[in-house]
Every structure is written in C-alpha cells, then in structure tokens.
Structure 1
C-alpha cells in the first residue's frame, strides 16, 4: 500500500469495493463552524497557511506540542513564516488525523502528491499560491468540487442571518442552512449570559426585563430561524447535562436574581439550565427540528492560553466525569417519540452508555465520533460499538465540525473509508452478505443524515 493511494485505510478488497460504492456520494454536513461570509463573498484565499492553518486549532495544538513559538502559530509572524514552521514539524504529526487531513487536502484539492516537510515547503507554497489565484480555488468552487450538497452552520440566536439570506441567491449548487445554538442563553453563571440577554433585547420585540419576556424573545429568534430554513438546534451541555422538572416560577426567580447581578448557587444554576433545556426542547419539537446535544467539553481548561488568546484557541479538553444516563433521563423521557435527538459525547468511554440509551429510544441517535475521536481508530471503534449494541443503520452519519472549508472533503473521506472498513470486516467474517453491506454503507454515508434532519 502506498502513501494515500486508492487503498488508503482500507484493509481488504471488500472494504475497497464498499468504499467505491460511497466515495462519490454528495456530502451532507449537518454541523460545522463555517465562516459563511467567506463563502458568500467568494474572495480567493491568499496562501496555503490561510487555507490550512489560520483557523485550525487542531494544527495549532500540535505545533505547540512540537515547540513552535506562539508567534509562528497565532502571533505576528507572517503567513510564509508560519507555513515554514508547520512544515518543519509536520512529519512529527504522524499518526494524528490532522496529518492525514492536511495531506488529503493537498492531494485532493491541489493534486500535490509529496509529503509536507521542510524540504517540500517552498515548492508546495509556490504551487498552491498559483492555484489559489484561480477561480477554480475560490470557496464556492471548492465546495462544489468537494460535492457538498448541504451544510448547516452553527449560529447564535441573536444572529440576523444576513449571509444566509445572501447565500440563497449568491451561492450556487450548495444548500446552506443555519443552526440555532442557544448555549449562551443557558450559561447563566457566566458573563457571556448577561451579554447575550442584552443582545437578545436589541434584536427582538419583547422586553427582557422579566423572565416571561426573555422566553418570548428567545422564541421569537427561534421563529426567525424557522423562516430562514433552519432544521436543527445545537446545544453544548458542558460536562454534565442537567434535565429534571423545574417550575417556571423557580426559573424566573433565578433569572431575576441573575439580572440583578447577584451570585447564584450551584442549585440555582442547575435549575435554571434544566428549565431552559426543556423550554428549548419544546420549541424544537413544535418546529420539527432535530436537537443535537454536545456533551462533555471542558472549555478553556488551559488558563494561560485562554488569558492570552481567548476561546477556541486549542485549550479545551474532555472528561470522563459525566453522568450521561441520569443527566439525560428526564429530557429523553419528556420528548420520547416527539423529536429526533442526536447525542455527541466527547470522551469515548461514554460510548457504551450512549449506545444503550440510544437503543432504548427510537428517536435518539448516536452522533458521529466527535472532536478528539474523529480519527480512523476513533471512528471505527465507535461504529463497531453502535453496530453491536444499537443499530448502525440508525447512526447519525458524519459531520465535519470544522472551521476549515477545504477539509470538509477530507474529513468525510476519512469517515467513509473507515465506515467501509468496519462494515467490510463484517462481510469478510461471514456476518452479512455483500449486497446488504453496500446498502448499509450508502444509507449511513448519505441517506441517513438527510432522513434524520429532514433535508
């Protein structure tokens, strides 16, 4: 097997055949962090660092691990200097999926076969800069070349979705939908909550002086997203999802106390979040949306990084300390059969619990191997767990979860090859016939996400 050849990641002829059946299917990406302004404006990128490194905290983390100074990662150094610094340490990324994604990007998007390293950095910089100046490498052209059919961005409820409105007429060949993400509305214990309430007040009709007005204003943004084609809600639950019955009076008292700037007890924070999670679920159920729960991220764990660079700089981690079963119990029972629910867990030790919970509720699906788990090992391990405990046919499929547009194709390729490998082993072990396996991989790779999100 050669470097990223036709059999890349595929362990058998059966896996090769299964991948051939799904390789060219359109990409349906229900969760990503795309910069939609970049897509709508459709301006050319300037250089390969802007494409591969400028927004990718996966790349940043690994460069830091190999001793690259921050100046050459997120600092004042020029893009060429940052690219050279990446190339110098890039061979040491071997085994991490970031290595695969960057090499896949270079090969699939630019036709560059050689590995990235200090010796090839200059040639790759020059060739990619030449190609990036052409219309074929503008953002919209790249999306079409990657066969992206649908992408759903992640958007704050206070967004007016101006670029989504422009995308309807200015982006050809790709369906772009917003996703309503009310995380800041739930984080009543943080300064971001107060900012959110003020921003909500500025863009909605109901006054947010009292809790009823706040809920009405939140519902107004929900309706606004419905009108703009939204089909899903993203909720980051943090390390512990909190679902239990809480009265509107209790939640309203906590709201009033928070608005006064008073400190809240842990019980008050939990009760407020539990009430609002149920309220959001009610809005989603009425709208026919899919609710996506992202469980287990410990944000801003590395304090010095957050102090210097702020959020989304590569300082988040996962934890095993999550009570998934008790934490989701009330919410899942409350919306049993009423709406589709997709659960993403950040720590892989939670897959066994998530798979049995999903098995118990027909409207609950296991989300794709997320964040630290979207490697060939992580994807295949999760798919095999879901297949053996729940149903692989009910797996939610793949999402890019990416801020880097050119990597959408690479991430979906890695998933589809891993899917073909996992199902191919079932065929080779005599567990199912090939025609059944082919239908299954086609379903999970394409039909299932369209069905699950009503696309």
Structure 2
C-alpha cells in the first residue's frame, strides 16, 4: 500500500484543493523555529544516540503516561521498572484507545516522519514496530542532532533555570551542526516565595551569581547577574510558568520586610507572597526590556493535583490540569505598569483555559503600540490545547479580535526529540482553516497573498520577531 493510501497521507487534514495548495506550496517546506521547548541540551551537546525507541519516545512524555494510566496500565509499565520493550508494548496497546485525542494523530505522524512507518500502531503491530524503530534509533543517523536536522529545524530554544551554568549550550555553540540552539531564562523558583525549599534555592543562586543573598536588593542583583550571563551566552528570551500574572500594590519597605521574614524562616501570608511576587516580576520584566528580550508567560495551569503521586514521582509526571483563575484585571494592570514606563518588552501570553481565549486575544491589542509588528502576542494553543480543536479556537479568537497575519506561530513545548511533527500538524490545521474559507467564498481566491500569510505564520514572523 502506498503512503498516499494510508491514514497519514499527503493530504492528511487538508479537506479541499485550496488547503492542499496552501500547505504543499507555501507551508510544508518552511524551516522550523521552535522557540520554546524543554529538550535536554546535554543530549544535544553530546549528540546522544538512544538505545531504543522507548527512551526517546515514551520516557518523559506525561501526555502518553496519562493515557496509559487511564486505560488501566500499571505504573510499572509507565514510569516504573518495567523493561523498555514492555513499556513500548503497553503504549502500543494504548494507542487505538486514544482516537480523537491528539496523541493518535501525533503518534502516527511521528512514526511516518521519523521512521517511514505508515502502519497503525496497536497491540498486534507493537512488537514489530518496536524492533524496527529501535534498530533505527540506535544508530548515528538518528542521533539527537540528526533528528533535529531531519525535520529542518533552524532554531530550537530550550528552557533553563538561572542557576544553570549553560555548559552544554556553550559546547553546542563551539561545535555548530546546522541547527541553532539557544535557551530561555526561567526564574520561577526565585519568584514563588511560598514554595518549599525556597531559601535553599536562593542559597544556590547566591553561590552561582557570587552574590550572597541577604536582602531583596541582593536577590535583584543576583538575578540581574544571571540575566547578563545568559545574554552573554546568546539568550534572547525569558519564560514564566505561572497560574496567573501577579499584580498587587506594594511599597519597597513592605517587600524588604517580607523578604527578610522569609530568609529568617518565618511564615509569610498569602497576601505578602503576592506583593513580593508582583514586585520581583515587574523587576524582571523591566530588566528584560533593558536587554531587548522577548518575555513569555504560560498562564492557567493547575499543577500537581494528585498529592500522593506527586510525593512518589515528583512534578511534571502527568498530574496537572487546566485551572480557572481570573486573568484579565491583574494581567492588564501588570502590562499597563510596564507600558506606562515604556518598559514593556515584546511579550507572548499563552493561555491554558479556552474560556479565556477572547480575554487574551483582546488584551494584547491594548498594548500593541505600533513600535513593533505584533509586539504583544497571543501564543499558540499549548499543553492541553495544542490539539486540533484548541489550535482552531486560538486561531479563530486571534483572527476575530486581532491580526492573525502577525502571529509568530507554533512551538512544541516538548521534552521529546520526536515531537516536531506538531509543527506540521499546526500548519495543516492553519491551511485547512484558510482553504475552507476560500472554498466558501469568505476569503478571496488570492493564493499569492494568502500563501504569503501562511509562510509568515509558519516561519517568517518568528524569524523577524526573535531576531536570532
């Protein structure tokens, strides 16, 4: 059976000739700029070769883990001490049950694009596919650097904590291989003052920065020191994963007192924590503006819901969900405080609650001041929303209330080196959305102009926006 006759064929998700033309002629061959992910830079620096396909495809993937648990797969074969082969076989058993979940589409796109396998993965085919994919992955052709080159990744941007020494990024920069690798500065652990282990983290931050952190001023100096270090190593972005933007009125004296209480291991109230977090977030954002960085805010996740499993497995293991936090007022006040000083840098806001899509799509328009094309962005659907329905809703909200033509497009936000077909998935959804409206007469049959719009969203806008 030819590839064109299989489930994943040339026109997968493309429902008419206009969508097909837009995708194949304007989007398909554009390079990938993956400006936010959680890839391990050590694996890239060492050009790691994985022993088998479980290691690169299932380990670390909490999307797959949630699905397997839901089906009743024992944790031994999810994150436990089961063999890699048994974990893969249990994933293969799970896949047919993921129909209408994006995992079903992603799985078969990844098999097709990386391994040239067009068979459906299921309990019967799992062992054969495990053998075939593992033989391929355990070869130099499938090293991490070659996996990135295989998908035409021009840039990938990982995410590191301020205490990271960036040794792996320096090694990559000294040994370029065709894909540029950069990093994003993620200082959430320095912001979330109520977190367990906060003081211990500040001790480490002090050691790394060479600044003993006794006062709030010391903390700001240490963070500024690390921002400068990251900038010297090519960083041009920051990233924050917060439930919501913090903005409470505070005085300098209040923040100093709150920080002193924390360093003395005294209890601080939730109100005090919010004041502190508001202060440090504004300080960081003003510093990003000084450096000309892009700041990213991932908002709306309710994390670590299952306390028992969090104790056993730790964070980022599949126990998170969408939160329903109020977003508009604090976000508006925060952006306005920066804009009023003309210290609002380029900003991307990612929303996890689809109920807030229109809030975010209209909020960005309040602060697009004409200084930069698409200065404030409504980011692509992420986490639970990086699927067909979620992406379409984000595209529609942005189109209806802003300019989709200025959108910087898709990112993987992934820990997996096999996740890059998500860019293809997004591009097909985008082209089908536009192609359908051409067919219905809601857009003109102007392929040259709409094709340019597709190219811009697929690649050009991100290239111009981030200026790597």
Q: TM-score with structure 1 length normalisation?
A: 0.97
Of 355, 374, 383, 2:386 maps to: 374
Instruction: Give the secondary-structure state (helix, strand or coil) at the position aligned to 1:343.
Output: strand
Mapping for residues 282-321 of structure 1, pairs under 5 Å: 282-320=286-324
Please give the alpha-carbon distance, in whole angstroms, between the structure 2 residues aligned to 1:378 and 1:9.
15
Q: Is the 8 A contact 1:180 1:230 kept in 2?
A: yes
Q: Is the 8 A contact 2:408 2:458 kept in 1?
A: no
Instruction: Give the secondary-structure state (helix, strand or coil) at the position aligned to 2:418.
Output: helix
Match for residue 14 of structure 1?
18
Please give the alpha-carbon distance, in whole angstroms, between the structure 2 residues aligned to 1:396 and 1:38.
27
Please give the alpha-carbon distance, in whole angstroms, between the structure 2 residues aligned to 1:329 and 1:452.
22
Instruction: Give the secondary-structure state (helix, strand or coil) at the position aligned to 1:153.
Output: strand
Match for residue 371 of structure 2?
none
Of 364, 380, 384, 2:396 maps to: 384
| Alpha-carbon offset, residue 2 of structure 1 | 4.2
Instruction: Give the secondary-structure state (helix, strand or coil) at the position aligned to 1:107.
Output: helix
Please give the alpha-carbon distance, in whole angstroms, between the structure 2 residues aligned to 1:246 and 1:329.
17
Instruction: Give the secondary-structure state (helix, strand or coil) at the position aligned to 1:176.
Output: strand
Match for residue 99 of structure 2?
94
Please give the alpha-carbon distance, in whole angstroms, between the structure 1 residues aligned to 2:138 and 2:290.
47
Q: Is the 8 A contact 1:243 1:329 kept in 2?
A: no
| Alpha-carbon offset, residue 245 of structure 1 | 4.4
| Alpha-carbon offset, residue 415 of structure 1 | 0.7
Greater alpha carbon shift after TM alignment, 206-215 vs 437-446: 206-215
Match for residue 150 of structure 1?
155
Please give the alpha-carbon distance, in whole angstroms, between the structure 2 residues aligned to 1:277 and 1:437.
39
Q: Are residue 350 (structure 1) and residue 362 (structure 2) matched? A: no
Please give the alpha-carbon distance, in whole angstroms, between the structure 2 residues aligned to 1:257 and 1:364.
36
Q: Are residue 439 (structure 1) and residue 442 (structure 2) matched? A: no
Please give the alpha-carbon distance, in whole angstroms, between the structure 1 residues aligned to 2:152 and 2:132.
23
Unaligned stretches of 5+ in structure 2?
A: 369-374
Please give the alpha-carbon distance, in whole angstroms, between the structure 2 residues aligned to 1:222 and 1:245.
26
| Alpha-carbon offset, residue 349 of structure 1 | 0.9
Of 141, 160, 164, 2:146 maps to: 141
Please give the alpha-carbon distance, in whole angstroms, between the structure 1 residues aligned to 2:142 and 2:155.
19
User: Which whole-Å deviations, capped at 9, do the CAs of 1:36-93 have from their partners, x for residues lacking one?
Assistant: 1111111211111112101100000000000000000000111011111111121101
Q: Is the 8 A contact 2:248 2:274 kept in 1?
A: no
Of 172, 180, 187, 1:175 maps to: 180
Q: Are residue 64 (structure 1) and residue 76 (structure 2) matched? A: no
Match for residue 255 of structure 2?
251
Instruction: Give the secondary-structure state (helix, strand or coil) at the position aligned to 1:292.
Output: strand
Mapping for residues 52-451 of structure 1, pairs under 5 Å: 52-238=57-243, 240-320=244-324, 322-336=325-339, 338-362=344-368, 363-408=375-420, 410-430=421-441, 431-432=443-444, 433-451=446-464
Please give the alpha-carbon distance, in whole angstroms, between the structure 1 residues aligned to 2:464 and 2:64.
33
Q: Are residue 42 (structure 1) and residue 55 (structure 2) matched? A: no
Please give the alpha-carbon distance, in whole angstroms, between the structure 2 residues aligned to 1:16 and 1:453.
29
Unaligned stretches of 5+ in structure 1?
A: none
| Alpha-carbon offset, residue 108 of structure 1 | 0.7
User: Which whole-Å deviations, capped at 9, do the CAs of 1:345-370 have from their partners, x for residues lacking one?
Assistant: 11111101001111222131100101
Q: Is the 8 A contact 2:203 2:212 kept in 1?
A: no
Superposition RMSD in Å: 1.3
Q: Is the 8 A contact 2:361 2:397 kept in 1?
A: yes
Please give the alpha-carbon distance, in whole angstroms, between the structure 1 residues aligned to 2:357 and 2:197.
31
Runs of 4+ in 1 over 6 A off after TM superposition: none
Please give the alpha-carbon distance, in whole angstroms, between the structure 2 residues aligned to 1:190 and 1:43.
34
Please give the alpha-carbon distance, in whole angstroms, between the structure 1 residues aligned to 2:80 and 2:89.
14
Please give the alpha-carbon distance, in whole angstroms, between the structure 2 residues aligned to 1:83 and 1:133.
15
Please give the alpha-carbon distance, in whole angstroms, between the structure 1 residues aligned to 2:48 and 2:218.
41
Please give the alpha-carbon distance, in whole angstroms, between the structure 2 residues aligned to 1:426 and 1:289.
36
For this pair of structures, how many residues does the alignment match? 452
Q: Is the 8 A contact 1:178 1:230 kept in 2?
A: yes
Q: TM-score with structure 2 length normalisation?
A: 0.94
Q: Is the 8 A contact 1:206 1:217 kept in 2?
A: yes
Q: Is the 8 A contact 1:140 1:171 kept in 2?
A: no
